[in-house]
Amino acid sequence: MDPFHAKLVAAATGSTMTALTMTPFDVVKTRLQTQPKEPLISRPPLNKCCQPAHIPCVRNMSSYARPLAAEEVVCIFDHGVYRTERVNGFLDAVRHVWRAEGMRGLWKGAGTTLLIGVPSSSMYMLTYDHLLRNVLPPLISSPTLIPMVAGITARASLTSLLSPLELIRTNLQSTPISPDKPHTLPSVLASVRTIVQKQGITFLWRGLGPTLWRDVPFSGIYWAGYEAWKRFFESRGQKGAYVAFACGSISGTTASLITSPFDVLKTRRQALLMTGTMSSRTTATIPLLAHIVRTEGTAALFAGVLPRTVKIAPACGIMIACFEGVGKFLEQKDRD
C-alpha cells in the first residue's frame, strides 16, 4: 500500500476507535459543563422543593442540565439530607446519566461523533503530516515551531469548516429541558432548521470563536509537545507504537488542562444559543467569560476537566499510535 493510502487507513482506524471508546467521557463532560450554578438559598421546609412558586418541581434525573439563564435547580431536604439534581464530579455524573437514560445515554451523539470524527480526524492527521513533512520545513528552521504551526494551521482550517456539525453534536449530548422532549437527532436538526430560518445561515458558525480559542492553542501545544517527547524517547533508542501512545497521552493531558476554560466557553455558548435564553451579546466569548466568573466563580471555567482529560489522554494516545503503528505496518507489508 502506498504511503498516502496507508496513512489514510491508519487515520480512519484511529479516529473510529477513539470515537467509539471515548464518547461517554464527552457526554459526561458536556453535562457537567451545561448544568446551572448552584443557587444561594435559605433552608426550605422539610421535603419542600426549593424552586420558585411559579416553576414546577421536576425530579426526573435527566432534567438536571438546564439553560443557565433559567437558573432552575431542583433541591429538596429529604429527612435532613440535602438532595439535588445537580451532579458533583465525574462518577456522580456517570451514575446520574446511567440511571436516567441507561447505557445508551452514555453513547448519546456517538453516531454524529463518527460522522464528524472519522472524516475530520483523518483529514486533520493527513493535513498535519503533509504540512510537517513537505510544506513547512523549507520555510521554518525550528524543530519545535514546525509541528506547532502545522497543528495550528490544520486545526483552524478544519474546525472552521466543520463547526456546524460540532454545534449539532454538542446539543445532542446536552440534557434536554424536560424528559418528555428528549434530544434526538431529528429534534435537534428541526431546532437548528427553525433557528437558521429566523437568524440566517451564519447561526451555524456561532460558537466558532470559543472553539478556535480551544482547538488552536490545544493543537499547537499538543503537537509541539508530542514531537519533543518523541525526540526525547528516540534519543534513548525507544520508538514504536507504545512510545507514540505515551507521547500523545502526555502531550494531550498538558494541552487539555491549559485549554479547559475555552472548552467550557465553547460548550456553554453552543448550548445557550440553541435554547434562545440569552442574547448574542451575552454569549459572545468575553462577555460569557465574565458572566461565568461573576456568577459562578473561576472554578466553573474548569467544569468537566476530569472527564475531558480522562478522555483526551487515551484518545490522543490511541489516535497517534494507530496513525504511526498501523500506517508503518501497512507500508512495510506493501514493501514485503
Q: Percentage of residues in the chain with pLDDT exceeding 90?
A: 17
- Confidence tier at 274 by pLDDT (50, 70, 90): low
Helix/strand/coil for 200: coil
Q: Answer yes or no: is pLDDT of 273 > 70.
A: no
Rounded to whole angstroms, how far apart are CA atoms 58 and 76?
11
Identify the pLDDT of residue 44: 47
Q: What average pLDDT does range 207-228 have in this prediction?
A: 87
Q: Answer yes or no: is pLDDT of 233 > 90.
A: yes
Query: What confidence tens digit (pLDDT) does each residue in 275-284 have?
Result: 555 554 455 6
Q: Answer yes or no: is pLDDT of 333 > 90.
A: no
Q: Answer yes or no: is pLDDT of 195 > 70.
A: yes
Rounded to whole angstroms, how far apart are CA atoms 173 and 171?
5
Q: Answer yes or no: is pLDDT of 83 > 60.
A: no
- Confidence tier at 248 by pLDDT (50, 70, 90): very high
How confident is the prediction for the chain on average, in pLDDT?
74
- Confidence tier at 132 by pLDDT (50, 70, 90): very high
Identify the pLDDT of residue 167: 78
Rounded to whole angstroms, how far apart are CA atoms 249 and 89?
22
Q: pTM for the full model?
A: 0.66
Domains of the chain, by residue range, sit at 3-24+109-175+207-334
- Confidence tier at 64 by pLDDT (50, 70, 90): very low
Beta bridge partners of 75: 84
Estimate to the nearest angstrom the gap between the alpha carbon of 5 and the chain centroid.
Answer: 28
Rounded to whole angstroms, how far apart are CA atoms 336 and 331?
9
Q: What average pLDDT does range 142-150 have in this prediction?
A: 91
Query: What confidence tens digit (pLDDT) does each residue in 305-327 have?
Result: 887 888 888 888 888 888 887 77
Q: What average pLDDT does range 58-68 have in this prediction?
A: 35
Identify the pLDDT of residue 68: 31
Of 233, 286, 226, the residue nearest 255 (C-alpha): 226
- Confidence tier at 87 by pLDDT (50, 70, 90): low
- Confidence tier at 173 by pLDDT (50, 70, 90): low
**CB proximity list for 196: less than 8 A, separation 6 or greater:** 203, 204
For 127-156, give the secondary structure using H, E and C. Answer: HHHHHHHHHCCCCCCCCCHHHHHHHHHHHH
Q: Answer yes or no: is pLDDT of 127 > 50.
A: yes
Q: Which residue has the higher pLDDT, 74 or 56?
A: 56
Identify the pLDDT of residue 246: 93
Q: What angle do CA 200, 202, 208 make, to 5 degrees?
A: 150
Rounded to whole angstroms, how far apart are CA atoms 260 and 314?
17
CA atoms within 13 A of residue 50's CA, in its CB half-sphere: 19
- If you average pLDDT over each of 123-132, 302-311, 327-336, which comes out highest? 123-132
Identify the pLDDT of residue 88: 66
